[in-house]
């Protein structure tokens, strides 16, 4: 065997498996980072770009509009919040237009299917933090092509409380959740307070989402879901997306095995049809060892396969579960 041939074979095997693996990831903050760093979505040095996404079969990526607007921003500077939202939305559309050979903005399951037929990445538009939606009705949000709304980030807003502040849904938040569901907007409870989570669970008449949240029993962080919360999410028909931020996976050094432990915990709770990926790529500064970006998400599948899990389960986790929920809510 010539030097390096074993490594080359390993890489070629991984490339082949990756091209057979579909991907539907529930959360990234890449749009914010593109704007902050002045780079483009086609190819960059961030966690995620279109060329690396295209290594997967049928890639679908949720692109989240996010900005740290500060505490009580809706009261202090609502016009600035609205301008920030419009600017981030323009960055998203700029990248969709500049890379239309590789990606298309999808508003429905039918749009995703069309993107797959064209060999393109399907891009889903989301917003993180109700403070970004100052002055917008649920109808406005829907008409702008947003299909997922993460109700809170780290601050309380006019919709409700975060995991850092506490507090449930406000009356406005309750109205928003109900109307968004009627329109076909998927409600996301990542970053929510425990009280807000249970308010959404009580109101929900269709599946809801925890786009980038892990198991609190495995890593005791308030950003993660309790077993009871995950089971309520399952009962709604929804999914939890595995967050790859190391601080939410482990209290110490973090590897892919730590990420898999969260998956296995949710599986033990009967969650095989209710786990997805929500890597939080470009929204975190520390990933598990062995994960550099979207190109390495397949290594989670490899570890699950090594442990004896079936291809069907891996494909459910990587794609089918989230696709089912998105289709059910958005049509």
For the chain, strand residue ranges (E) read 22-28, 57-65, 103-105, 121-128, 146-150, 186-188, 209-210, 239-242, 275-277
Per-residue pLDDT, 12: 67
**Could you count the other beta carbons within 10 Å of the beta carbon of residue 237?**
16
Residue 37 has pLDDT above 70, yes or no: yes
Query: Alpha-carbon distance 31 to 38, whole Å?
Result: 10
Residue in this structure with the two tokens 């508003």, named with its chain if needed: 107
Token representation of residue 6: 């074993």
Pairing, β 22-28 against β 57-65: parallel
Per-residue pLDDT, 3: 43
Residue 8 has pLDDT above 60, yes or no: no
pLDDT band at 10; cut points 50, 70, 90: low
Per-residue pLDDT, 15: 77
| pLDDT per residue as tens digits for the range 91-132 | 999 999 999 999 999 999 999 999 999 999 999 999 999 999
- For 3-46, the DSSP string reads TTHHHHHHHHHHHHHHHT-EEEEEEE-HHHHHHHHT--SSS-SS
Residue 77 has pLDDT above 70, yes or no: yes
Per-residue pLDDT, 289: 98
Query: Alpha-carbon distance 148 to 310, whole Å?
Result: 30
Residue 60 has pLDDT above 70, yes or no: yes
Residue 72 has pLDDT above 90, yes or no: no
Per-residue pLDDT, 318: 99
What is the domain partition of the chain in residue ranges?
Answer: 22-330
- Residue 225: strand pairing partners: 215
Average pLDDT, the chain: 95
Determine what percent of the chain is predicted with pLDDT higher than 90. Answer: 90
Residue 1 has pLDDT above 60, yes or no: no
277: DSSP letter: E
Report field, pTM of the whole predicted structure over 0.85: yes
| pLDDT per residue as tens digits for the range 210-258 | 999 999 999 999 999 999 999 999 999 999 999 999 999 999 999 999 9
Least confident of 46-50, 66-70, 259-263: 66-70
Per-residue pLDDT, 11: 63
Residue 75 has pLDDT above 80, yes or no: no
Token representation of residue 175: 């109205």
The dotted CATH code for 22-330 is 3.20.20.140
What SS3 state is found at 147? strand
The HSE-up count of residue 64 (CA atoms within 13 Å, CB side) is: 29
| pLDDT per residue as tens digits for the range 289-302 | 999 999 999 999 99
Query: Alpha-carbon distance 297 to 178, whole Å?
Result: 34
Residue 9 has pLDDT above 60, yes or no: no
The HSE-up count of residue 310 (CA atoms within 13 Å, CB side) is: 5
């Amino acid at each position: 065997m010539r030097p390096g041939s074993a490594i080359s074979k390993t890489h070629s095997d991984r490339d082949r498996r990756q091209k057979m693996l579909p991907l539907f990831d529930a959360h990234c903050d890449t749009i914010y980072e593109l704007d902050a760093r002045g780079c483009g979505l086609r190819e960059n040095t961030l966690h995620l770009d279109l060329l690396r996404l295209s290594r997967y079969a049928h890639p679908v990526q949720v692109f989240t509009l996010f900005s740290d607007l500060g505490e009580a921003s809706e009261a202090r500077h609502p016009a600035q919040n609205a301008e920030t939202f419009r600017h981030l939305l323009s960055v998203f559309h700029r990248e969709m237009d500049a890379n239309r050979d590789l990606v298309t903005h999808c508003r429905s399951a039918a749009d995703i299917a069309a993107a797959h037929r064209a060999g393109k990445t399907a891009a889903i538009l989301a917003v993180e933090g109700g403070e970004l939606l100052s002055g917008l009705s649920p109808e406005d949000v829907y008409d702008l092509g947003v299909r997922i709304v993460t109700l809170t980030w780290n601050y309380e807003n006019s919709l409700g409380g975060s995991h850092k502040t506490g507090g449930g849904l406000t009356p406005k938040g309750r109205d928003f959740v109900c109307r968004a569901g009627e329109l076909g907007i998927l409600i996301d409870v990542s970053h929510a307070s425990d009280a807000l989570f249970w308010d959404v669970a009580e109101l929900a008449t269709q599946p809801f989402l925890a786009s980038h949240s892990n198991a609190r029993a495995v890593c005791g962080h308030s950003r993660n879901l309790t077993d009871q919360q995950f089971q309520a999410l399952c009962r709604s028909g929804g999914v939890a997306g595995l967050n790859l931020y190391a601080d939410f996976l482990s209290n110490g050094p973090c590897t892919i095995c730590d990420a898999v432990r969260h998956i296995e915990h949710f599986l033990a709770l009967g969650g095989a049809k209710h786990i997805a990926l929500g890597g939080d790529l470009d929204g975190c500064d520390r990933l598990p060892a062995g994960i550099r970006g979207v190109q390495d998400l397949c290594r989670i599948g490899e570890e699950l396969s090594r442990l004896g899990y079936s291809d069907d389960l891996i494909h459910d986790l990587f794609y089918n579960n989230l696709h089912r929920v998105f289709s059910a809510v958005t049509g």
